[in-house]
Each structure stands twice: as structure tokens, then as C-alpha cells.
């Protein structure tokens, strides 16, 4: 019988902590365990420390995960809780995503100071966002707006907005819900016009492949529809990857039988984009995402990926 508490790794941002506590609470409820059986271990990652540059510039994905993964591999942590959106498509040897929590709303939220709606902002308004996808989508819909790189924890971004450094910003609705700050949202963006990032809104658990005890523990809270949708979206991302500088959006929905996926790639300036729609059996989410990725890559042609890099 397990006597030592499970060590749960997380970043220290308010959102990361909320996600780690939600995971712990679900595990306690599923197994009838007390909180003494879990220890939350907070770690700082490179992504948390470097806040003045765009992520793609300093190395992109992996910046929020590497320190946690090192501690998983050394056995100092039993599992880590992440935003699936922050996870690289390829994980270190020996680690895997062993469970997904039920997905929150995957849509993006607009938070406007100069106006409540993105499409109605005064010409030349300044939007802060560090996400290549959001920057490109804004430029596509509103080429007249000025987009500036804007990072940091949610509360920092909201303060900068209040101070007037920008006229608006975009955040995942899911994150705002989890930290109880949906009060700032002025518009929820239509996922057809403003499609979310692959895996947005889904919390995942990462653990060692050979740790069957943890696999059995977390299996009890794994949400199958979220697993199917996010696996499909991550396969799309993986089929297109090669560059973390490509703005990519992708969203899958499943009814347990069929997965419906829709994806979009854009040039960073928003002038070109390609959409793809695919559906297929929920039993093979990866194949659907991969086929969608291959199709959109073929439709866009090689110059799409080289003309602006």
C-alpha cells in the first residue's frame, strides 16, 4: 500500500496552481483519498522567468515543461499537471500524457478597453498578444490594428491593459474561468472566425510510462472525449510542426462515434490562410488529425511555409 504522498509538479502561476488543485481534488474524490496523500510541488520554468520576449523567439514549446519533465524522469515528481496547449508534440523518452481532465470552453476571449468587440475597435487600436496564432488572426480580420508582443501572467496583462499600454488583449476563456476572472471578458470569439489553438482549454497529466501505479491512479479521472479531441488536435499540430513559427489553429469535437476536426494555418501577417475540415471514427483520433495536417500542408504548398520565415 502507498504510504508516501504522490508528488504533483506544477508551475507557480495562479492558473497553473488552480489546475494542479483541480486535478488533486478530482483524484481525491475518485479514490476517496485525503489531501495528505498529495503534495503539490511548485517549480519555476524558463517560460515563467523570461517575460519580455515572444516565446517563438526564445525557443517556443518546451519552455514551460522542461524543468518539470527533468524532475519526473529523476523520480522527484510522480506526475505533472499542465495546460495541454503548452505541451510540445514530442515528449522526452519515457514520459507520456497519461490522463486529460474534462475540457473547459476552448474559445478565445477578447478583453477590450477601447471597445467591447474586436471588430468594432477604433482604427489603429493596439492589441497585446504573444501568440502567433492570435496575432495572425487579428491581422487577418483587422489589418489596421497594431499588434504588439505582450506576455506575463494573466493578472500582469490585465494591469497593463488598465494602465492603457494596450487597448485590448486576448486570453483563453478556459484560463479566465479557472482563476475566476471572466468578469473582464468583453467578447467571446466565434471559433469559426477565431479558431482556438490545438489543445486549448484542456488540462493534462504527464507521467512516466513505466509508473503503472500512477497510470492506474490517474486513469480514474481521464475524460475520454477530451482525450480523443486533444489527441486529434495534437496530431494535426505534429503533422505541420517543423516550425513553431507557423500560426496554427485546430479544434476537434467528438460524440464518441465520430470526431469532427477543423483546422487553419495562416501566414503571420494574416494575408493568407488555409482551412481544413476532416471527420472520422473516434477510435483513431490521431489518424484524423494527421490526415488534416497532411491535407492542409499539400493545399498550402511549400512556399506558404518558406515565404515569410
Ligand X SMILES: NCc1[nH]cc(CCC(=O)O)c1CC(=O)O
Work out whether 86 is an interface residue with ligand X (CB under 6 A): yes
Which of residues 109 and 239 has its CB atom nearest to ligand X in the complex?
109
- The span of 79-87, 114-122, 257-265, 278-286 binding ligand X (CB under 6 A) equals 79-87
Work out whether 172 is an interface residue with ligand X (CB under 6 A): yes
User: Which of 85, 50, 82, 56 lies closest to 68 in space, CA to CA?
Assistant: 82
Q: How far is the CB of 302 from ligand X (least distance, A)?
A: 30
Work out whether 200 is an interface residue with ligand X (CB under 6 A): yes
Q: How far is the CB of 210 from ligand X (least distance, A)?
A: 28
How far apart (Å, rounded) are the C-alpha atoms in residues 229 and 261? 8
Within the chain, strands assigned E span 6-11, 38-43, 79-83, 95-100, 108-112, 126-128, 146-148, 168-172, 187-188, 203-208, 248-254, 258-266, 273-281
Work out whether 118 is an interface residue with ligand X (CB under 6 A): no
Q: How far is the CB of 283 from ligand X (least distance, A)?
A: 25
CA 130 to chain CA mean position, Å: 13
Contacts 24+ apart (CB under 8 A), 144-148: 145/121
Backbone angles phi, psi at 30, to 5 degrees: -65, -30
Work out whether 138 is an interface residue with ligand X (CB under 6 A): no
Work out whether 83 is an interface residue with ligand X (CB under 6 A): yes
Which of residues 24 and 208 has its CB atom nearest to ligand X in the complex?
24
Count of other CB atoms within 10 angstroms of residue 1:
2
Cell of 161: 491593459
Q: How far is the CB of 16 from ligand X (least distance, A)?
A: 9
Annotated catalytic residue within 86, 108, 167, 211: 86
Which of residues 147 and 300 has its CB atom nearest to ligand X in the complex?
147
Work out whether 137 is an interface residue with ligand X (CB under 6 A): no
Q: Helix, strand, or coil here: 222? A: coil
Does 211 qualify as catalytic in the annotation? Answer: no
Strand 95-100 and strand 38-43: the pairing is unpaired
Work out whether 198 is an interface residue with ligand X (CB under 6 A): no
Which of residues 104 and 167 has its CB atom nearest to ligand X in the complex?
104
Q: Which residues bind ligand X (CB under 6 A)?
A: 83, 85-86, 171-172, 174-175, 200-201
As annotated, the active-site residues are 86
Amino acid at each position: 500500500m502507498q504510504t508516501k504522498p504522490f508528488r504533483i509538479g506544477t508551475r507557480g502561476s495562479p492558473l497553473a496552481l488552480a489546475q494542479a488543485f483541480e486535478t488533486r481534488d478530482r483524484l481525491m474524490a475518485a479514490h476517496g483519498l485525503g489531501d495528505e496523500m498529495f503534495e503539490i510541488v511548485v517549480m519555476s520554468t524558463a517560460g515563467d522567468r523570461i517575460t519580455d520576449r515572444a516565446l517563438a523567439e526564445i525557443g517556443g514549446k518546451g519552455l514551460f515543461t522542461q524543468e518539470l519533465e527533468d524532475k519526473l524522469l529523476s523520480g522527484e515528481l510522480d506526475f505533472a499537471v499542465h495546460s495541454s496547449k503548452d505541451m510540445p508534440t514530442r515528449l522526452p523518452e519515457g514520459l507520456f500524457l497519461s490522463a486529460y481532465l474534462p475540457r473547459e470552453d476552448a474559445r478565445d476571449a477578447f478583453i477590450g478597453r477601447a471597445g467591447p468587440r474586436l471588430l468594432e475597435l477604433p482604427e489603429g487600436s493596439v492589441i497585446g498578444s504573444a501568440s502567433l496564432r492570435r496575432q495572425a488572426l487579428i491581422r487577418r480580420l483587422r489589418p489596421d490594428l497594431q499588434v504588439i508582443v505582450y506576455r506575463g501572467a494573466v493578472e500582469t496583462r490585465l494591469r497593463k491593459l488598465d494602465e492603457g499600454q494596450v487597448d485590448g488583449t486576448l486570453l483563453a476563456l478556459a484560463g479566465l474561468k479557472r482563476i475566476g476572472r471572466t468578469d473582464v471578458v468583453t467578447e467571446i470569439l466565434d471559433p469559426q472566425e477565431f479558431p482556438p489553438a490545438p489543445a486549448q482549454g484542456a488540462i493534462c497529466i504527464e507521467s512516466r510510462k513505466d509508473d503503472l501505479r500512477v497510470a492506474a491512479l490517474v486513469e480514474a479521472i481521464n475524460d475520454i472525449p477530451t482525450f480523443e479531441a486533444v489527441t486529434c488536435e495534437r496530431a494535426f499540430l505534429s503533422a505541420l510542426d517543423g516550425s513553431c513559427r507557423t500560426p496554427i489553429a485546430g479544434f476537434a469535437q467528438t460524440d464518441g462515434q465520430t470526431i469532427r476536426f477543423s483546422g487553419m494555418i495562416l501566414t503571420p501577417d494574416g494575408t493568407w490562410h488555409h482551412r481544413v475540415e476532416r471527420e472520422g471514427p473516434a477510435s483513431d483520433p490521431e489518424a484524423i488529425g494527421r490526415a488534416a495536417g497532411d491535407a492542409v500542408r499539400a493545399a498550402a504548398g511549400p512556399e506558404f511555409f518558406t515565404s515569410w520565415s
